[in-house]
Amino acid sequence: MEPKGKIGVLISGRGSNMEALAVACKQGQIPARIAIVVSNVPAAAGLQRAVRLHLETAVVDHHESRTREEHDRKVAAVLDAHGCELICLAGYMRLLSAWFVQHYPNRIINIHPALLPSFPGLDAQKQAIEHGAKVSGVTVHFVDEQLDHGPIILQASVPVSDDDTEDTLAGRILAEEHRLYAEAVRLFFLERLKIEGRRVRILDAPGPA
Ligand code: GRF
């Protein structure tokens, strides 16, 4: 039987997190499926990846809208037409309008390659190295109206070594990203994430009936 839960994934680039989610859905780890992959960048490599994974894709080019909200309304129209219950940002390089965030209350999740609230924004791995951090990592969080700010669902740390470059650190973090994003989305669809203010409580799995 096909799982009921539907995910919309927003990408702008290579789409490796999108693929990790797709694989986790296919393997039954996540009780849901990716209903649509939307890119704001027509040439995003992740679109080809999605096609290879037999996922439906759409392009909503932000250059064709005059305002952020106009663009976001077009994206939401696609997501809603596909019945998406959860929106996963996976390397989506756009700030979201307040309208979009409010349209999907507590239903947008993002992944960020650092331990928030450290190193928000662009080039998080470079920021960690330049700051001399000894540890960095990955954060999966609900999205609110501020960038890289909403309630944290899961985090995992990775060591930063003296001879790390931005690329070596990014690679180490990426392996954790793929694992952690799938786990967070799994918990969402199992209804085990309870938001209490800024905190997300992970509810225990129900015991045997
Ligand atoms: C990842 O590092 C993610 O944490 C960040 O952008 C990158 C996207 O990579 N938000 P990919 O497109 O999923 O391969």
Task: Please state, for a pLDDT cut of 90, what percent of the chain lies above it.
Answer: 96
Task: Please provide the average confidence, as pLDDT, over all residues in the chain.
Answer: 97
pLDDT in the model for residue 206: 86
Choosing from 71, 103, 112, 178, the catalytic residue is: 112
Residues 95 and 131 in one domain: no
Give yes or no for residue 13 CB within 6 A of ligand 1.
yes
Assign 64 a pLDDT band (cuts: 50, 70, 90).
very high
Q: What is the pLDDT of residue 208?
A: 82
Residue 209 predicted with pLDDT over 80: no
Confidence of residue 72 (pLDDT cuts 50, 70, 90): very high
pLDDT in tens, 19-53: 999 999 999 999 999 999 999 999 999 999 999 99
Q: How far is the CA of 79 from the centre of ligand 1 (A)?
A: 20
Question: CA 163: distance to chain centroid?
Answer: 29
Give the pLDDT score at 173.
98
Same domain? 125 vs 93: no
150 and 68, same domain (yes or no) = no
The answer for residues whose C-beta is within 8 angstroms of residue 201's C-beta and 6 or more apart is: 193, 194, 195
User: Does 82 participate in catalysis according to the annotation?
Assistant: no
pLDDT band at residue 207 using 50, 70 and 90 as cut-offs: confident
Model pLDDT, residue 121:
97
| Domain with 116 in it | 110-209
Q: Are residues 90 and 130 in the same domain?
A: no
- 3-15 burial by CB neighbour count: b if 16+ within 10 A, else e? eebbbbbbbbbeb
Place of tokens 């928030």: 116
Contact 75, 64 (CB under 8 A): no
Dump pLDDT digits (tens) for 74-97: 999 999 999 999 999 999 999 999
At residue 195, the 3 state secondary structure works out as strand
pLDDT band for 200, please (50, 70, 90 cuts): very high
pLDDT of residue 2: 66
Residues 164 and 72 grouped into a single domain: no
* Residue 73 sits in the same domain as residue 9: yes
Residues 186 and 125 in one domain: yes
In this predicted structure, the answer to whether residue 4 has a pLDDT above a threshold of 90 is no
Instruction: Point out the least confidently predicted range of 69-73, 192-196, 202-206.
Output: 202-206
CB 14 near ligand 1, within 6 Å: yes
CA of 182 to the centre of ligand 1 (A): 14
Q: Which of 104, 133, 150 is a domain's end point?
A: 104
> Which of 119, 127, 177, 180 is the pocket-test mutation for ligand 1 (most atoms within 8 Å of CB)?
177
Tens of pLDDT, residues 102-139: 999 999 999 999 999 999 999 999 999 999 999 999 99
pLDDT at 177: 98
- What pTM, to 2 d.p., does this model score? 0.97
Tell me which of 78, 104, 130 is where a domain ends: 104
The residue among 82, 104, 126 that closes a domain is 104
pLDDT over threshold 90, residue 186 = yes
Pocket test for ligand 1, best of 174, 176, 180 (most atoms within 8 A of CB): 174
The burial of 62, by beta-carbon neighbours within 10 Å (0-12 exposed, 13-18 middle, 19 or more buried), is given as middle
Total domains in the fold of the chain: 2
Give yes or no for residue 45 CB within 6 A of ligand 1.
Answer: no
CATH of the domain at 38: 3.40.50.170
Could you tell me if 130 and 65 lie in one domain? Answer: no
Query: Is residue 114 within 8 Å of residue 82, measured between CB atoms?
Result: no
Task: Tell me, yes or no, whether 53 and 141 share the same domain.
Answer: no
